Amino acid sequence: MSLKAKMSKFFARMEKADKKMALELEQPKRGSGELDIGRFTKKVRVKTWNVDGFYGVTVNGSYTKNTHIFMLPGGAYTLEPTGRSREIAEYFAKEEQMRVSIFQYPLAPEYTALTAHQCLLNAYNRLTGEYPADEFYLFGDFSGGGLALSFLQELRDMGNMPMPVKTAVVSPWLDITLSNPRIKIAQKTDYILPVEALKAAGARYCGPLEPDHPFVSPIHGDWNHLGPILIFSGTEEVLTPDCELLAEKAGALEGTEIIYKKGAGMAHNWIMTASKETDATLELISSFFQEEHIEF
């Protein structure tokens, strides 16, 4: 493990990152502007757009291919995207020449999953209509990963929109209730995620939906015919037990290929910190999206 990754875990523990997140979830800040057009590097071209009053950006590099990532940032369905989401989009656009659209979908507690999914459908419909020649790929981290997997199931069920070619998620939140008994053991090494505060945030996001509804807990949905899915999680995070549970079911699925990579010693959503491991993960995701056969 690189020094940066080790230091990131050390500071998360020393600075009580879990308690800090718990406070942020209770009183989420709004208007951070991390996806404002002026914050992006001049090396990419950025177009802003709006769907149902919610903000989105599309990022292009110098020689953009017809590969289009629809990116859903994480934040426990409550927190706005950080600057790292912008930097990751810039990486895919600059280094890999992929078009990236980030949607700042409706967040709790102001909105619930029903609003988020409706806006997501409208945003995806707009993008696929505006870029009809593009092949679309879904990418999300943390709650954005959970939302991507829920949305993938919804698109399959609707059958009237183009399915993403492939999907990649990092540290996805698969079960809103965090009720997997293995999570209690995982808590001993996760210094980032506050389980009880996440449960409360998850309940607010559910709104009128039952907690086992696939819109909020995709692990309980139908996983057949979703195409190739690449999933990452770390050995030191509370979301890994559900990722392992999903991976155990992978062999019995039809029309879905799940590739699960568990990062040894890695903390929750490590791509939010610049490190050698983050670079390697983003390169794997890019290769997965753009190449037909990848050795993992």
Task: Report pLDDT digits (tens) over 167-177.
Answer: 999 999 999 99
Strand locations in the chain, DSSP E?
Answer: 45-51, 54-60, 67-72, 99-103, 135-141, 166-170, 227-236, 256-267
Is the model's pLDDT at 212 over the cut of 50?
Answer: yes
pLDDT at 296 exceeding the cut of 50: no
Query: What would the mean pLDDT of 99-106 be, rounded to a whole number?
Result: 97
25-39 per-position pLDDT tens digit:
999 999 999 999 999
Contacts of 128 (CB under 8 A, 6+ apart): 134, 136, 161, 162
The mean per-residue pLDDT over the stretch 143-164 comes to 97
Task: For residue 286, count CB atoms less than 10 angstroms from its CB and return exposed for 0-12, middle for 13-18, buried for 19 or more.
Answer: buried
What local confidence, expressed as pLDDT, does residue 215 receive?
98
pLDDT of 10 over the 90 cut? no
Mean pLDDT of 31-55: 96
- Confidence band, pLDDT 50/70/90 cuts, at residue 15: confident
Please give the mean pLDDT across all residues of the chain. Answer: 94
Model pTM score: 0.94
- Please work out, in degrees rounded to the nearest 5, the angle formed at the alpha carbon of residue 105 by the alpha carbons of 102 and 111: 170
